[in-house]
């Protein structure tokens, strides 16, 4: 869901407009690029520091200071027909809006840099998450352009678009902004209207889900219902999967960070690794998919719970990570937690990190049934895909490995 | 991600093959359909009981007892060329596999009912989550068939397919099973191979993401990279969004169920509602999208934390639900927790449920700034879409409401 944003702006000191703004974002983390030496020209190694530095710049932008780069100044906002937001207002609603995280914030429409970006409109008569997911995945194919060649893109999600009037408004606005319209409209008359209106106003457009739906319709020999999700006539979501998923989430939250080892036997998946290898977000991601996940931290000097070795060992997965990357993540974390002095140096220094990873590695060697997954450079979704694949491969010893579901 | 499965099998007593199997699923919940009177013929009201009843039947199926219905017996498994799993084995690996939740379990290939289902293969050179998401969404358009007319579908996800040999194996197997192949292969030569092989072997196939990718390529005037996610050459995921998301998840877990009211001001979204209105799964879903969420239970006789009324009121959302549905969810929950006697009757009886919802309603009336969302019949994703939409609409008072992101 999360694709990188680029901030190629000069560093300036953050001048926050709203006093409440600082409350919802971590403290500034100074640039530490010097720690890592020069960077290769094309592919950058994963580094928390420069990314966090970008984040801090992003916040500076959002805090409303002026842009100094002439290259940016000449990028004006020719397309936006709506009046700019009243940026000097300090009404409660505006101060709240500032608290939405920067990547999903909308208050960048008065920002010269971003207005020059190409716009992609995603229009859905449902939640819009399918459009968002597909567009994110497709944009992954343009990272070389987004990151290196500087063609910024803004996506705009219009969800719950259930009447033609609203649809027409959106298409008209897309025409004004020169946007691409990508839609998932399951009501055939809405889809037709979108197609015709886009044609009429010269807006490039694509129905994201139609090829998939048509292929399935042909395969099943059944026409699609044309009823959006959540509309009357669609079935209620209180299916067994619903309960299974809720239970998995409840279980996983309660088992976070080594809590309640007596329940380990009830987990579908048990993740083991040192602090900041991403055990918690991975657990949560898998829980959303219906797996009950427990995660257990490896801490030097703290024995792993006995129960871990008594449960089915094929449930257990080790996570490991490159020490340099781990150190940068931990440093960022320590700073964000406001830790310093003794504790921080102990937690984040390189020797300690290496020693702890070696300690973890020894445990992994002693437990050869546990697959050990290298998480360096992997998104949560990617590690999750590996875990799930191994889980299912293990049970299909004589079949072609696959993850199957019934509908 | 979770679409309903159908189990139209006669009720039989569960006869579990594997002793470890019962450990990972909740206790049997007896059918309580009598509580609710007769059902309308087409659209069923949301009911935990009958769904859970289905679940219990599903477990009976999975536990390996024989199918008694002649209609089911005549559905044989003509397509599967692989040998059936060794069902009488009691090796640790098989007992583990049973612990994977039923909806995402693969061990149904020896099951007469399901083998008669139409197969959909999803093939990806990445995580496969985009294919899965799109196919789930598209299958939502065939619920009328899946549920009411009985054309079961099995999906099979093949992720991380990075070489042509594996791709060919999968396509061949699809041909044998009469499967539809839906793929997201970003490497153009892989996509071409899939297309040609499917044509050659008469397998219907569609490239799920191609129309979207091509539309974006034309819009940006840039060719897609053709590099799968996670492949060398793709950027590392330690972006600011990565850290933002991790922080959101960490925050949300710590704030679950009214914990640490002193941190409420740091939340982007605060959910308020009585027990079992889905606050926790909704919080977690939103956290995955980068929002820091706190949730606070409304319990009669327990005062809401003062901090809730001191923070920006535009962050707060009330959740409400139909009392009959809530009661059925709570009864299922109480049973699964093993609660009975005093506590259970107090927690789950109708009068109490109504009274508590009225109590919540009074609080909502006293706080008119809080939008109150009716969650009855809504999937978590749908409620999340409503919350996010309101969040963003509120900040765009003079713009066309949309949820925007920068790339």
- Give me B163's structure tokens: 């070489």
Contacts of A274 (CB under 8 A, 6+ apart): A297, A298, A299, A321, A326, A356, A357, A359, A360
pLDDT for res B373 = 96
**A166: burial class by Cβ within 10 Å (0-12, 13-18, 19+)?**
middle
Q: What does the alpha-carbon distance between residue A141 and residue A151 come to, in Å, rounded to a whole number? A: 13
**Mean pLDDT over all residues of chain A?**
74
Q: Identify the CA nearest to B272 among candidates B305, B245, B249.
A: B305
- Give me B204's structure tokens: 């219907």
Highest-scoring range by mean pLDDT, A7-16, A96-105, A214-223? A214-223
pLDDT for res A21 = 25
Chain B contact present for A302, CB below 8 A = no
Contacts of B219 (CB under 8 A, 6+ apart): A118, A120, A180, A204
Contacts of A53 (CB under 8 A, 6+ apart): A11, A29, A30, A31, A33
Highest-scoring range by mean pLDDT, A103-117, A253-267, B45-59, B103-117? A253-267
A239–B51 CB contact, under 8 Å: yes
What angle do the packed helices A341-348 and A350-366 form, to 10 degrees?
Answer: 50
Tell me the three state secondary structure of residue A319. Answer: strand
**Topology of A240-395 in CATH?**
Rossmann fold (3.40.50)
Cα distances (angstroms) measured from residue A388 to each of A51, A287, B127: 29, 11, 10
B291–A100 CB contact, under 8 Å: yes
Residue showing tokens 């716009």: A119
B2–A212 CB contact, under 8 Å: no
Residues in B closer than 8 angstroms to A406, CB to CB, are 5, 103, 108, 114, 117, 152-154
Mean pLDDT of A180-184: 97
For chain A, what are the domain ranges?
21-220, 240-395
Q: Identify the CA nearest to A377 among candidates A322, A312, A299.
A: A322
Is the confidence at residue B344, as pLDDT, over 60? no
Residues in A closer than 8 angstroms to B81, CB to CB, are none
Residues in B closer than 8 angstroms to A100, CB to CB, are 268, 291, 391-392, 395
Mean pLDDT of B264-292: 95
When pLDDT is cut at 50, 70 and 90, the band that residue A149 belongs to is: low
When pLDDT is cut at 50, 70 and 90, the band that residue B340 belongs to is: low
Question: Parallel, antiparallel, or unpaired for β B269-274 and B293-298?
Answer: parallel
pLDDT for res A334 = 77
CA angle B135, B139, B145 (to 5 degrees): 155
Which residue would you say has higher pLDDT here, B326 or B68?
B326
Instruction: Please name the helix (run of DSSP H) or strand (run of DSSP E) that holds residue B273, with its range, or none.
Output: strand B269-274
ipTM here = 0.73
Q: Identify the CA nearest to A264 among candidates A278, A277, A276, A252.
A: A252
Which residues, listed in sequence order, are joined to residue B154 by a DSSP beta bridge?
A406, B119
- Give me A87's structure tokens: 């940026």
Which residues, listed in sequence order, are joined to residue A405 by a DSSP beta bridge?
B155
Is the confidence at residue B84, as pLDDT, over 80? no
Q: What does the alpha-carbon distance between residue B320 and residue A17 come to, in Å, rounded to a whole number? A: 36
CB A240 within 8 A of CB B51: yes
Maximal CA-CA distance, chain A:
70
When pLDDT is cut at 50, 70 and 90, the band that residue A215 belongs to is: very high
pLDDT for res A403 = 65
When pLDDT is cut at 50, 70 and 90, the band that residue A100 belongs to is: low
Mean pLDDT of A141-153: 79
Is the confidence at residue A363, as pLDDT, over 70? yes
Q: What does the alpha-carbon distance between residue A168 and residue A334 come to, in Å, rounded to a whole number? A: 50
Is the confidence at residue A222, as pLDDT, over 80? yes
pLDDT for res B238 = 57
Instruction: Please name the helix (run of DSSP H) or strand (run of DSSP E) that holds residue B319, with its range, or none.
Output: strand B316-320
A134–B392 CB contact, under 8 Å: no
A288–B285 CB contact, under 8 Å: yes
When pLDDT is cut at 50, 70 and 90, the band that residue B333 belongs to is: confident
Is the confidence at residue A194, as pLDDT, over 60? yes
Percent of chain A with pLDDT over 70: 63
Cα distances (angstroms) measured from residue B375 to each of A250, B275, B304, B354: 18, 13, 21, 16
Q: Out of A17-21, A53-57, A93-97, A267-271, pick the least confident.
A: A17-21
pLDDT for res A347 = 58
Query: How far, rounded to the nearest angstrom, does the alpha carbon of residue A194 sit from its chain's CA centroid?
Result: 29
Residue range A250-303, pLDDT digits in tens: 999 998 888 888 899 999 999 999 999 999 999 999 999 999 999 999 999 999
**Which of A26, A212, A309 would best serve as a mutation to test chain B binding (most B beta carbons within 10 A)?**
A212
pLDDT for res B93 = 38
pLDDT for res A144 = 81
CA angle A385, A389, A390 (to 5 degrees): 120
Q: Identify the CA nearest to A147 among candidates B357, B234, B370.
A: B234
Mean pLDDT of A135-140: 92
Q: Identify the CA nearest to B193 among candidates B230, B163, B151, B154.
A: B163
Nearest to B140 among A158, A229, A238 (CB): A229
pLDDT for res A349 = 85
pLDDT for res B88 = 36
Number of Cβ pairs < 8 A linking chain A and chain B: 546
B265 vs chain A: nearest CA distance in angstroms?
Answer: 7
Tell me the three state secondary structure of residue A49. Answer: helix
pLDDT for res B173 = 94
Is the confidence at residue A170, as pLDDT, over 60? yes
Mean pLDDT of A225-232: 76
B355 vs chain A: nearest CA distance in angstroms?
Answer: 23
Q: Where do the DSSP E strands lie in B321-371?
A: none
Which residue would you say has higher pLDDT here, A106 or A333?
A333
Which residue would you say has higher pLDDT here, B29 or B341?
B341
pLDDT for res A87 = 35
Chain B contact present for A188, CB below 8 A = no
- Give me A338's structure tokens: 């406001």
Q: Out of A63-72, A375-384, B149-158, pick the least confident.
A: A63-72
CB atoms within 10 A of CB A200: 11
HSE, CB side, 13 Å, CA atoms: give it for residue B183: 31
Residue showing tokens 């998923």: A245
B85–A127 CB contact, under 8 Å: no
Q: What does the alpha-carbon distance between residue B253 and residue B292 come to, in Å, rounded to a whole number? A: 9
Which residue would you say has higher pLDDT here, A92 or B120?
B120
Mean pLDDT of B311-319: 96
B269 vs chain A: nearest CA distance in angstroms?
Answer: 9
Is the confidence at residue B376, as pLDDT, over 80? yes
pLDDT for res B406 = 64
When pLDDT is cut at 50, 70 and 90, the band that residue A19 belongs to is: very low
Which residues, listed in sequence order, are joined to residue B269 by a DSSP beta bridge?
B293
Ramachandran angles phi, psi of A119, nearest 5°:
-100, 140
Chain A contact present for B389, CB below 8 A = yes
A224–B253 CB contact, under 8 Å: no
pLDDT for res B96 = 41
When pLDDT is cut at 50, 70 and 90, the band that residue B185 belongs to is: very high
Q: What does the alpha-carbon distance between residue B3 and residue B14 come to, in Å, rounded to a whole number? A: 24
B392 vs chain A: nearest CA distance in angstroms?
Answer: 7
pLDDT for res A259 = 86
Question: Parallel, antiparallel, or unpaired for β A403-406 and A372-374?
Answer: unpaired
- Give me B377's structure tokens: 């019949």
Mean pLDDT of A114-136: 88
How far apart, in Å, do the first and last CA atoms of chain B sit?
25
**Mean pLDDT over all residues of chain B?**
74
Residue range B14-40, pLDDT digits in tens: 332 222 222 222 333 233 333 333 333
Chain B contact present for A345, CB below 8 A = no
How far apart, in Å, do the first and last CA atoms of chain A sit?
25
Ramachandran angles phi, psi of B296, nearest 5°:
-130, 120
Which residue would you say has higher pLDDT here, B235 or A71?
B235
Classify the phi-psi angles of B239: left when phi > 0, otherwise alpha if psi is within -120 to 50, otherwise beta: beta
Which residue would you say has higher pLDDT here, A224 or A17?
A224
pLDDT for res B165 = 95
């Amino acid at each position: 869901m999360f694709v990188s944003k680029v901030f190629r702006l000069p560093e300036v000191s953050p001048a926050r407009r709203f006093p409440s703004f600082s409350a919802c974002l971590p403290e500034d983390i100074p640039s530490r690029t010097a720690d890592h030496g020069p960077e290769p020209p094309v592919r950058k190694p994963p580094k928390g520091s420069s990314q966090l530095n970008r984040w801090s710049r992003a916040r500076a932008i959002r805090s409303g200071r002026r842009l100094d780069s002439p290259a940016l100044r000449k990028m004006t906002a020719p397309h936006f027909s709506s009046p700019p937001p009243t940026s000097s207002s300090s009404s409660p609603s505006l101060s709240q809006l500032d608290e939405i995280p920067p990547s999903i914030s909308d208050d960048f429409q008065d920002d010269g840099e971003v207005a020059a970006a190409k716009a992609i409109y995603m229009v859905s008569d449902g939640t819009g998450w399918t459009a968002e997911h597909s567009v994110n995945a497709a944009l992954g194919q343009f990272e070389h352009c987004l990151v290196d060649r500087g063609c910024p893109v803004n996506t705009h999600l219009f969800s719950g678009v259930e009447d033609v009037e609203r649809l027409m408004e959106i298409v008209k606005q897309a025409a004004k902004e020169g946007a691409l319209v990508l839609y998932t409209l399951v009501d055939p008359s809405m889809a037709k209207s979108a197609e015709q209106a886009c044609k009429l106003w010269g807006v490039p457009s694509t129905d994201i889900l139609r090829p998939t739906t048509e292929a399935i319709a042909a395969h099943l020999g059944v026409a699609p219902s044309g009823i959006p999700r959540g509309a009357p006539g669609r079935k209620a979501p209180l299916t067994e999967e619903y309960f299974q998923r809720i239970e998995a989430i409840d279980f996983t939250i309660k088992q976070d960070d080594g809590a309640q080892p007596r329940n380990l036997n009830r987990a579908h998946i048990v993740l083991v690794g040192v602090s900041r290898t991403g055990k918690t977000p991975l657990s949560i991601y898998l829980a959303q998919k219906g797996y009950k996940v427990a995660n257990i931290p490896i801490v030097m000097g703290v024995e792993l719970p006995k129960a871990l070795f008594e449960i089915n060992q094929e449930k257990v997965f080790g996570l490991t990570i490159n020490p340099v990357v781990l150190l940068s993540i931990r440093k960022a974390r320590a700073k964000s937690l406001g830790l310093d002095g003794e504790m921080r140096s102990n937690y984040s220094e390189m020797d300690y990190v290496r020693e702890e990873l070696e300690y973890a590695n020894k445990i992994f060697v002693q437990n050869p049934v546990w697959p050990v997954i290298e998480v360096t450079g992997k998104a949560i979704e990617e590690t999750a895909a590996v875990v799930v694949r191994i889980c299912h491969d293990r049970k299909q010893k004589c079949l072609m490995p696959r993850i199957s579901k019934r509908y």
